[in-house]
Amino acid sequence: MKEKWYNKKLSIKYIYTIVAIIFIGTLFIPLQSIQCSKTDNVCFIYSKNVILRHPKLVNQFNISDIDRYEIKDKHNSGGRGGIRYTSYFINIYLKTGEIIHIENETRSYERAQEIYDSMINNDNFSLKGNYWRSLFDNY
- pLDDT value at position 68? 94
d(CA 28, CA 3): 38
Q: Which positions ≥6 away from 89 have C-beta within 8 Å?
A: 71, 72, 74, 101, 102, 103, 104, 105, 106, 112
- pLDDT value at position 133? 58
Question: What is the dihedral sign for C-alpha 103, 112, 68, 56?
Answer: negative
pLDDT digits (tens, 9 = 90+) for 28-43: 677 788 899 998 999 9
pLDDT digits (tens, 9 = 90+) for 58-109: 889 999 999 999 998 876 655 555 566 677 888 999 999 999 988 777 878 8
Tell me, yes or no, if the pTM score tops 0.75: no
- pLDDT value at position 53? 66
Cβ(12)–Cβ(94) below 8 Å: no
Q: Running DSSP on this structure, what letter comes out for residue 49? A: -
Tell me the mean pLDDT in the region 115-119: 90
Question: Residue ranges of the domains in the chain?
Answer: 32-137
